[in-house]
Amino acid sequence: MILCSHRRGFTLIELLVVIAIIAVLIGLLLPAVQKVREAASRIECSNNLKQLVLAVQNYHSAMNVLPPGLYAQDPGYVFTDNAPHVGCLTLLLPYLDQSNIYNTLDPAPGPSLLKTMPNGWWNNSTYFAAAQLQIKTFLCPSDPHPATEIGTSGTLYCDASDIIFTGYFIPNPIGALLGRTNYEPCAGAVGTGSNPFWGLYEGVFTNHSRVSITQISDGSSNTIFFGETLGGSGPPGPRDYAMSWMGAGCMATAWGLPRPPQWYTYGSLHTGGVVQFAFGDGSVRPIVAPIATDFSYTPDWWAWIYVTAYHDGGVVDFSALGE
């Protein structure tokens, strides 16, 4: 007797059906995975912002004032890159468990830098070496941090006397060496200055500022301390600039919150145009871009200006900010 066995395999059509079903399932699953990943990134980003506000509060406890936005030229003098331009985040290093980096800086950060280091932190060996380190707390996980086409910010500076917002960018390839940040302190509309109108809308962090928490008459829960920034529009297009944490200075807000963001505005790569901001009380709230344009004086623009200033007396309409 001869025994015969028969094994039935998949036909070509059956295989194609199975592959199609798997492709559909992957297509359905991928957005869910991306959504969960983005939610986790937003939580981590929110925690970074909370840590910055906590560090600022601890700085205040030690110094009785909030840290300045940056140490640039003497207050009242025109912008020049021949100044220290050491930013707020550098001063917060000891309050973020980064004393080992802070202690390498010579001369020590402070107002005396105008005399002891007058030619930019990028010309000082200890500052430049430290500036190349990447600090996780300063980075938003939703930003892939692509290579930049032009360079990295050495400083950002705004002046309410002349209504200017400017900066100094260190070109590649040197600029590409620098550690980045996605977070910038808020200088209000155009910082501080002699203009009586724009000076009313200054933020907490400006050039050589020394603001105490008791001076925030608008209330710390209504005043932005830090926000997200990119340095340009970013992916899928090329990134113009990146922001150096060593020189993260004063971010002005009178130019609005456009989408896509520009180097001179706050912005993020969170989905739905969401940009996260940390307030003085430690809360983190989303604001949805675009909600304002350059000097538009529309209700949403005013709501944006009010929430970035600290003593203007304006009532913040958070519903106008996309919440």
Tokens for 60, please give them. Answer: 């205040």
How high is the pLDDT of residue 77?
87
Q: Quick check: is 195 in a domain?
A: yes
How high is the pLDDT of residue 55?
98
Residues contacting residue 161 through CB under 8 Å, at least 6 positions apart: 76, 193, 194, 195
Q: How far is the C-alpha of 233 from the C-alpha of 231, rounded, in Å?
A: 7
Q: What is the pTM of this model?
A: 0.89
Tokens for 202, please give them. Answer: 């200054």
For 166-219, the pLDDT digits (tens) are 989 999 999 999 999 999 999 999 999 999 999 999 999 999 999 999 999 999
CA 48, 49, 55, 57 dihedral sign is negative
Q: How far is the C-alpha of 159 from the C-alpha of 161, rounded, in Å?
A: 5
Contact indicator for 78, 207 with CB cutoff of 8 Å: no
Q: How far is the C-alpha of 61 from the C-alpha of 55, rounded, in Å?
A: 10
Residues of the chain with pLDDT > 90, as a percent, come to: 74
Q: Quick check: is 10 in a domain?
A: no
C-alpha angle 110-219-72 in degrees, rounded to nearest 5:
25
Instruction: Using alpha carbons, list the distances in angstroms from residue 281 to 54, 155, 277.
Output: 9, 26, 12
Q: How far is the C-alpha of 112 from the C-alpha of 80, rounded, in Å?
A: 17
Q: How far is the C-alpha of 95 from the C-alpha of 99, rounded, in Å?
A: 8
Structurally, the chain folds into a number of domains equal to 1
Q: Quick check: is 169 in a domain?
A: yes
Q: Quick check: is 6 in a domain?
A: no
Low-confidence ranges of the chain (pLDDT < 70): 1-10, 12, 14-18, 20-36, 38, 234-236, 323
Residue listed under structure tokens 């340095």 = 231
Q: Quick check: is 207 in a domain?
A: yes
How high is the pLDDT of residue 39?
76
Q: Quick check: is 137 in a domain?
A: yes
Q: Quick check: is 4 in a domain?
A: no
How high is the pLDDT of residue 291?
86
Q: How far is the C-alpha of 138 from the C-alpha of 134, rounded, in Å?
A: 8
Q: Give residue 113's domain range.
A: 17-321
